[in-house]
Structure 1
Amino acid sequence: MSFKRPEHKAPPELFYNDEEARKYTQNSRMIDIQVQMSERAIELLLLSEKRPYYILDLGCGSGLSGSVLEEQGHNWVGLDISSSMLFVAKEREVEGDLLLADLGNGLPFRPGSFDGAISISTLQWLCNADKSCHNPVKRLYAFFSSLFACLTRTARAVFQFYPENSEQIELITSQAMKAGFFGGLVVDYPNSTKAKKYFLVLMTGGNMPLPKALSDGEEHASHVQFTNRREKYKNLKGKCVKKSKNWILEKKERRKRQGKNVRPNTKFTGRPRSGRF
């Protein structure tokens, strides 16, 4: 077969080079797909709308999924093995904290630090032995056990991923359960070749019913739901429209409170540009 899966072409830190990373800011179709999968993953976390949460973004890449978390009012920390992808995320001025890390080595966080975790198109990479010292079983267990430890005992973790076969699904889920998680697979649009998406939904607080998967008959409704959610956060009364002057001033204030260096405000801060030089 001529088609070769990305994870079989090169290790992630090499595959996601500068050229590949740029696609996540220039390819509108790729961006739209990533945003939709991120919205669905966050939906499967079943977070309350009453307060913001502290979320871990595993394999955060260029920060597209983190931007969706920001739009929904949450704080986040992102980890990725590709320095090129993290550089793009930094260029995009995402608000989350970024960390260069190999998930297969485990997560360096204190117990109970996060209220949830999401991951988009990352999990299948941990099933490869890209180095002679790599053992996929041990790497998956190190990852899941450290993730279980750093989540609160009411948290969920949702992974969108592309399993290669049933054996790979069994490998991943067995190590997750061994680490202490409950849960299982949610497969959206199972009868569609293109729209079919796998989500591994993991729970720390005990075995609970899995969320309902989206079916082909609900495809139109789910599209409307996602669109309405994006519009809600853009047009919500009392909130600042992204990139407006008030939005910029609020973002600068948040960065000041985080102890980051921020340029002083001037009469030009937030002024619309004509687009001409």
Structure 2
Amino acid sequence: MSRPEDTLPPDLFYNDSESRKYTTSSRIQHIQSQMTHRALSLLSLRSPSLILDIGCGSGLSGEILSTFSPETNPGGPHTWIGLDISSSMLAVALEKEVEGDLFLADAGQGVPFRPGTFDAAISISAVQWLCNAESTEESPAGRLSRFFNGLYASLRRGGRAVCQFYPKNDEQKKMVSSAAVRAGFGAGLLEDDPGTKSAKTYLVLTVGGGELDGDITGVVRGMEGVDVMDNRRRTKGRKRGEETKGSKGWIMRKKEQMERKGKVVKANSKYTGRKRRIAF
């Protein structure tokens, strides 16, 4: 049986009838609840937070975010904002009068919020849709890059995100996780029930905080069962002196990181990173 994302774009696949069928299915409700609670446990929120729900659909996850449960949602109830590309899904959410604010937007075009807006983010069964190009002018790599760069900027320093998705294969899993690492995240993959039909893959993401520069991969590394991808690892065979602190390459990379965070940086020129003579 073909996967939904291989048949139609999400805004067309989730029409009025499909959106209602998805929302009213007891099986989907149960699975969605399990995955949302799992994502919340990985976020480890200790107090009510502002959460972005990417691919919020009809608000099944949002309803859980809005509740308080000492066992499964000890940090809640949370305030949440939902983002989805399907107007039909959002219409169902409005009928249900969910407590979150809803936005109609394509995550593959970015995350349209101010830098540092959210304490955390979750995404349940949505990221795999970004792995398909919607037109010949787009590419999965471009859509993933815009999404993760926008998500990184929208989270506060020290924030976390958990994206549950269904990778088609190991290559797609690597493509998604690599896009997150390139955006600046500390990242790790966690797979529940591997090798079974009920396997679930979670991409756990952290944003640098405190005095740390860049990501806080150590936080992800401390999570049980998470396979870490560290964007601070040095590639083998790197030439001596390359990307050293203060070099042109180092400065350019730092400026790109600042731009992704929404900061204003000076324009590059042929003098960027040049060495100056010592003045007496």
Report the TM-score, using the length of structure 1 for normalisation.
0.73
Whole-angstrom distance in 1 between the partners of 2:222 and 2:103: 31
After superposition, give the CA deviation of every residue in 1:71-125 in whole Å (9 maximum; x if it has no partner): 1300000000000000011111101000000001101111110000000000010
- Rounded Cα–Cα distance in structure 1 between residues aligned with 2:194 and 2:222: 16
Gaps of 5+ in 2: 68-75, 209-215, 227-280
1:244 corresponds in structure 2 to none
Whether contact under 8 Å (2:180, 2:187) holds in the other structure is no
By how many angstroms is 1:4 displaced? Answer: 0.3
2:83 aligns to what?
Answer: 79
Once the 2 structures are TM-superposed, how far is the Cα of residue 151 of structure 1 from its aligned partner?
Answer: 0.2
Residue identity matched to 2:138: H
Instruction: Tell me the distance in 2 between the aligned counterparts of 1:183 and 1:21.
Output: 32
1:127-276 superposed matches below 5 A: 127-191=131-195, 193-205=196-208, 206-208=216-218, 209-213=221-225
CA distance in 1, matches of 2:168, 2:24: 28
Runs of 5+ unmatched residues, structure 1:
215-277
Secondary structure of residue in 1 paired with 2:81: strand
Runs of 4 or more, structure 1, over 3 Å off, are none
Q: CA deviation at 1:212?
A: 2.2
Cα gap change, 1:210 to 1:129, in 2 (>3 Å): farther
Separation in 2, partners of 1:126, 1:210: 29
Shift of 1:25: 3.1
User: What's the offset of the Cα at 1:197?
Assistant: 0.8
The residue aligned with 2:4 is 6
Q: 2:25 aligns with which of 19, 24, 27?
A: 27
Aligned residue identity for 2:223: P
- Taking the aligned partners of 1:57 and 1:84, their CA distance within structure 2 comes to 17
State the 1:195 CA deviation.
2.6
Higher mean Cα deviation, 203-212 or 16-25?
Answer: 203-212
Calculate the TM-score normalised by the size of structure 2.
0.72
Structure 1 counterpart of 2:203, which letter?
Answer: L
1:115 alignment partner AA? D
Deviation at 1:213? 4.2
Letter in 2 for 1:7: E
Is residue 161–residue 204 contact of structure 2 (8 Å, CA) maintained in 1? yes
* Whole-Å separation in 1 of the counterparts to 2:197 and 2:148: 29
Residues 167-195 of structure 1: CA distance to partner in whole angstroms, max 9, x if unpaired?
1111111111110001210011224x133
Alpha-carbon shift at residue 210 of structure 1 (Å): 4.9
What is the aligned-residue identity percentage?
Answer: 56
- How many residue pairs match? The answer is 209
- Bigger drift between 97-106 and 129-138 goes to 129-138
CA contact (8 A) 1:12 1:81 kept: yes
Counterpart position of 1:229 = none
Pair 1:63-2:31 in alignment: no
